[in-house]
């Protein structure tokens, strides 16, 4: 058993959750905030059998496509007059963790 943490853009969340349901993966969706941009993103926790991890990663790859995004600079919450900058957005950041024990009570 593995726990896969998938951090994605909010824009991709609905499509990914739909695909996870369709492919019968159990998942929990959390609202999260990126440490660099300090903007909302989505973290999805998925517990899955080891044999299904490649299938899961392929699903994420198909739905969460990388793209560029222009981001205004801010000082805390306040927009700054400094030039906006470009970051890679979309795509997904995944962590695959070993799980010692999984129970539903």
Asked if 35 touches ligand 2BA (CB under 6 A), the answer is yes
DSSP reduced 3-state for 8: strand
Options 4, 12, 25, 41; binder of ligand 2BA; rule CB under 6 A? 41
User: Of the two residues 49 and 65, which places its CB atom closer to ligand 2BA in the complex?
Assistant: 65
Asked if 88 touches ligand 2BA (CB under 6 A), the answer is yes
Which is it for strands 40-48 and 2-8: parallel, antiparallel or unpaired?
antiparallel
Options 14, 93, 97, 99; binder of ligand 2BA; rule CB under 6 A? 93
Asked if 42 touches ligand 2BA (CB under 6 A), the answer is no
Burial of 2 (0-12, 13-18, 19+ CB in 10 A): middle
What is the rounded distance in angstroms from the CA atom of residue 29 to the CA atom of residue 61?
A: 18
User: Of the two residues 41 and 59, which places its CB atom closer to ligand 2BA in the complex?
Assistant: 41
In angstroms, the Cα distances linking 4 to 11, 38, 71, 80, 85 are 20, 22, 28, 36, 31
Q: Which residues bind ligand 2BA (CB under 6 A)?
A: 7, 34-37, 39, 41, 87-88, 91, 93
């Amino acid at each position: 058993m593995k726990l896969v943490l998938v951090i994605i853009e909010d824009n991709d969340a609905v499509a990914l959750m739909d695909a996870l349901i369709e492919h019968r993966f159990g998942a929990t969706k959390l609202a999260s905030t990126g440490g660099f941009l300090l903007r909302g993103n989505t973290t999805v926790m998925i517990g899955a059998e080891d044999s299904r991890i490649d299938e899961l990663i392929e699903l994420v790859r198909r739905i969460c496509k990388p793209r560029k995004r222009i981001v205004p600079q801010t000082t805390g919450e306040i927009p700054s007059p400094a030039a906006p900058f470009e970051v890679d957005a979309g795509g997904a950041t995944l962590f695959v963790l070993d799980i010692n024990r999984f129970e539903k009570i």
